[in-house]
Structure 1
């Protein structure tokens, strides 16, 4: 005796499973891809500003932490060896440029003193990175 194979009816749930698998794979991909960016060595909260200009990405970046710690292009440097780390940046053509991202909670005289020190090391153009000013709440 020969039995004919039963054909199972496809339900709507069968076509939904591959879609769910793809959505979960995309979710995992974007979670992993979002963590691939390098993070700063310490947290810096930029001061607020009304200007909306965006910084240029090819300019070296100097971080000044709330406690006075410094990091040049993601590498922590000491204040007394800052000139040695800046020297390779000054070999390029044109005026020496640097972005300074100082913590908004840092003392203003310390930020100004660092800016003067950078000028003494040959930095001719300095961009102070800020964040957009939040609207004042009544």
Structure 2
């Protein structure tokens, strides 16, 4: 008597193909969510402003030093003290182009924590 050959069950490849396809779609979507900045984009330099910064703005240099109305301040909270109620509703920041983004975010958070309702970044186009 001959032995009956056992049938080897093949692996279902359809499930594997579906998983690979879903991963491909996920990475395509995740990779295009955040578009890079345009290389021709130039952000504002506080050193060579053609116009004057708004009188109610906090000017932040590349090294992180801050001035309000030409006077140096040590902490973002002092900005709110100098301007009072008008800065509590809208705090305007004029950052230098070379200021690290993390420092700008820290200053914005400090202003929000101190009571500013809105924090706006003034750019070169906004100064014209």
Q: Which protein has the larger Cα radius of gyration, Structure 1 or Structure 2?
A: 2
TM-score by length of 2: 0.49
Structure that is richer in helix per residue? 2
Q: Could you state the TM-score of these two structures normalised by the residue count of structure 1?
A: 0.46
- Larger RCO (CA under 8 A, 6+ residues apart): 1
